[in-house]
Amino acid sequence: MPLPVATTTITIWRAGAAAQYAEPYDAPPARTAVDTGVRAVIEPHPGRESGRERVQGGEQVRVQLRLICDPCDIDHLDLVEDERTGRTYRVGWMVPMGDPGGTVSHLEGGLDIIEGLV
């Protein structure tokens, strides 16, 4: 069963396996769109007004949000582009959610906005 209400659609971008070992100062790896037009909701974590924000030393700021979307090809370290706002997020984690019969109805995960360097 798809999401009953979606507030946006997303595009999922993926880089090759070597991207997970890239250093922050390396050039960004080439990415390809693996799925587009996926219905989704991007929202603050429950109980928080605007997500969770942490300053992690140096000049880096990390904001964490929650993603709920229709089943699609999405994985850890993919990038998610909100097609409504144009904002891009990094996928921190994803889990399939479903009914007791084992049918996946939607996915839930964590998104990060990371700006600056440590």
pLDDT, tens only, 38-60: 999 998 866 555 545 556 566 76
Average the pLDDT over each of 28-37, 78-87, 95-104 and give the range with the smallest value. Answer: 95-104
Taking phi over 0 as left and psi of -120 to 50 as alpha, with beta for the rest, 90 belongs to: beta
CA angle 106, 9, 44 (to 5 degrees): 70
State both tokens at 66.
């929650």
Q: What is the DSSP letter of 75?
A: -
Where is average pLDDT lowest: 29-38, 53-62, 87-96? 53-62
- Domain residue limits, the chain: 8-78+93-115
- What is the rounded average pLDDT of the residues 65-73? 93
Give tens-digit pLDDT for 18-30.
666 777 677 777 8
Q: Mean pLDDT across the chain, nearest whole number?
A: 82
